[in-house]
């Protein structure tokens, strides 16, 4: 019997066809950010209890759900079974074990060497891309593209690779190429949440809030079961509704699918970022500022992430604490960031702390201070990690800080740059406010363009009411 292989042609040490088939299905579901990932991987182990790679895949599953104890346990089990594994599998398992035990600095050189030998080891490539996404510094978007672009001939028309290849394109403003790649991925595998995610970003980067909302609504309706990416995809849907000027619809999505819920399978890492950034946007837009459910986000942040040191987490924890005017909590977070900086953390003191200070200043209506703080780190915000769409919350806050502090020249310059990238009703509304404050006759046309884009917006939203009032003057 010839050796069994996975979908990428990589040899598997199991001699059980049943175990191999379940493993391939489980890994595909994991790569698709789909549902029922655990079942086929458990079935693979049941068919061959000595198949170490299936246990490593389960470690990945728990890792991405934020279930770290389970992830470490499964990785440890895999390590004990590597005597029968292939050299590729042993290297793969060592890398997974290092990643799930928080030893990424040791894993990264091994990952890079492994991918030179086994570029089609997709789960290892996924870890490399994830690390780059959150820790790649100011050049991380370019680094993401440089990671995937040379591998395009190696993976060919592979639905999983196409999703990440699309993602790396839209983050560097190659939008139409990203659209084509994401569409092809979804054509091959429709239940691929990662492909849906890439397409959501294409709609966002193109300013296509109407078609983006329709796309997300249709796909989520066809795939109602909650995979571990369901919350984040719902967050994208809610953002499109906010962009359309429909905060009531957006808040309904938040309550149904984004708000932290007991027993949910979303990792706290994603739940914190999605919840905090969504609610902060609502605050910026004047949506129910006294009634937004900030406490549940702050409690999640404090319980799941008591210590500072993860830039993306700390920035969003700072948002939640600032929104609650929890100055004691903000001060404790800043102390933790200073301690992390003293230990050599590259962004804790340089970027994260100024962002947290600026968000607190904004929450306290000290808009000059907020503008100064965010302006000072604007070019470094990419080093926080996340996507263009996720970091946009900090850009939006800077735009509002300029306007509310009366810095209309800076507001217009900043908004001109944003509108050059994508046209939205909200940024046109902001531009019109800045122009009107400076008695610029161009404000009439700008506000009319915003009103046309928000023709179907919620007439009762604060922004819509202000826009109607300004446009009528």
pLDDT digits 0-9 by tens, 423-452: 999 999 999 999 999 999 999 999 999 999
In a domain, 143, yes or no: no
Residue ending a domain, among 350, 378, 405, is: 405
Can you read off the two tokens belonging to residue 309? 């040191």
Residue ending a domain, among 103, 135, 167, is: 135
What is the number of domains present in the chain? 3
Residue 127 CB partners (closer than 8 Å, separation 6+): 95, 96, 99, 107, 111
Does one domain contain both 16 and 103? yes
In a domain, 347, yes or no: yes
In a domain, 384, yes or no: yes
Provide the Cα torsion 70, 74, 79, 81; round to 10°.
Answer: 150
Q: How many CB atoms lie within 10 A of CB 460?
A: 9
Categorize the per-residue pLDDT at 372 as very low, low, confident or very high, splitting at 50, 70 and 90. very high
Residue ending a domain, among 85, 115, 135, is: 135
The SS3 of residue 377 is helix
Q: What residue numbers bound the domain in which 461 lies?
A: 416-473
CA distances from 251 to 241, 254, 281, 287, 317 (A): 9, 5, 11, 9, 20
Does one domain contain both 360 and 435? no
**Is residue 208 a contact partner of residue 182, using CB atoms and an 8 Å limit?**
no
Does one domain contain both 366 and 465? no
Position 205 pLDDT exceeds 80: yes
In a domain, 72, yes or no: yes
pLDDT at 441: 95
Categorize the per-residue pLDDT at 58 as very low, low, confident or very high, splitting at 50, 70 and 90. very high
In a domain, 148, yes or no: no
pTM: 0.95
**Is residue 314 a contact partner of residue 339, using CB atoms and an 8 Å limit?**
no
d(CA 420, CA 400): 18
The mean pLDDT of 92-103, rounded to a whole number, is 96
CA distances from 147 to 132, 328, 434 (A): 9, 42, 41
Place of tokens 């929450």: 363
> Mean of the per-residue pLDDT values for the chain?
95
In a domain, 142, yes or no: no
Does one domain contain both 317 and 385? yes
Can you read off the two tokens belonging to residue 181? 């790649």
Position 238 pLDDT exceeds 90: yes
pLDDT at 65: 86
Angle between helices 425-437 and 462-472 (to 10 degrees): 50
Residue whose C-alpha is closest to residue 402's, from 373, 441, 380, 443 = 373
Query: Residue 339 is part of a domain; what is its CATH number?
Result: 1.25.40
Does one domain contain both 275 and 396? yes
Does one domain contain both 400 and 435? no
The mean pLDDT of 224-232, rounded to a whole number, is 80
**Is residue 245 a contact partner of residue 454, using CB atoms and an 8 Å limit?**
yes
Does one domain contain both 296 and 422? no
Does one domain contain both 379 and 440? no
pLDDT at 263: 46
In a domain, 382, yes or no: yes
Does one domain contain both 427 and 374? no
In a domain, 159, yes or no: no
């Amino acid at each position: 019997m010839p050796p069994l292989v996975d979908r990428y042609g990589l040899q598997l040490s199991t001699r059980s066809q049943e175990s191999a088939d379940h493993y391939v299905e489980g890994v595909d579901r994991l790569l698709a950010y789909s549902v029922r990932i655990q079942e086929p991987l458990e079935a693979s182990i049941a068919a061959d209890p000595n198949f170490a790679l299936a246990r490593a895949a389960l470690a990945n599953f728990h890792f991405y759900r934020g279930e770290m104890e389970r992830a470490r346990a499964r990785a440890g089990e895999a390590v004990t079974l590597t005597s029968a594994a292939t050299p590729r599998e042993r290297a793969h398992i060592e890398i997974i074990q290092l990643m799930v035990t928080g030893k990424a600095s040791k894993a990264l050189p091994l990952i890079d060497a492994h991918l030179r030998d086994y570029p089609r080891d997709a789960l290892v490539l996924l870890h490399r891309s994830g690390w780059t996404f959150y820790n790649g510094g100011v050049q991380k978007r370019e680094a993401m593209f440089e990671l995937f672009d040379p591998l395009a001939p190696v993976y060919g028309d592979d639905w999983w690779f196409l999703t990440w290849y699309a993602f790396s394109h839209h983050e560097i403003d190659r939008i139409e190429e990203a659209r084509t790649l994401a569409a092809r991925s979804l054509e091959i595998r429709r239940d691929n949440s990662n492909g849906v995610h890439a397409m959501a970003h294409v709609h966002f980067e193109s300013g296509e809030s109407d078609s983006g909302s329709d796309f997300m609504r249709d796909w989520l309706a066809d795939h109602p079961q909650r995979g571990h990416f369901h919350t984040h995809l719902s967050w994208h849907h809610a953002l499109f509704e906010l962009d359309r000027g429909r905060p009531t619809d957006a808040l309904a999505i938040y309550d149904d699918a984004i708000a932290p819920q007991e027993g949910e399978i979303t990792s706290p890492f994603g739940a914190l970022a999605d919840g905090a950034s969504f609610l902060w946007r609502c605050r910026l837009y004047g949506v129910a500022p006294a009634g937004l459910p900030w406490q549940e986000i702050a409690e999640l942040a404090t319980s799941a992430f008591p210590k500072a040191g993860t830039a993306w987490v700390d920035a969003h924890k700072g948002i939640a604490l600032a929104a609650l005017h929890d100055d004691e909590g903000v001060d404790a977070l800043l102390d933790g960031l200073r301690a992390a900086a003293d230990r050599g953390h590259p962004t804790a003191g340089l970027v994260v702390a100024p962002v947290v200070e600026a968000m607190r200043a904004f929450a306290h209506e000290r808009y000059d201070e907020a503008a100064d703080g965010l302006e000072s780190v604007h070019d470094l915000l990419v080093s926080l990690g996340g996507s263009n769409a996720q970091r946009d919350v900090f850009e939006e806050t800077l735009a509002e800080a300029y306007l509310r502090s009366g810095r209309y020249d800076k507001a217009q310059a900043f908004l001109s740059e944003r509108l050059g990238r994508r046209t939205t009703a909200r940024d046109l509304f902001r531009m019109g406010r800045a122009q009107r404050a400076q008695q610029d006759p161009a404000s009439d046309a700008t506000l009319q363009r915003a009103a046309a884009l928000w023709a179907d917006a919620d007439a009762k939203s604060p922004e819509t009411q202000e826009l109607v009032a300004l446009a009528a003057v």
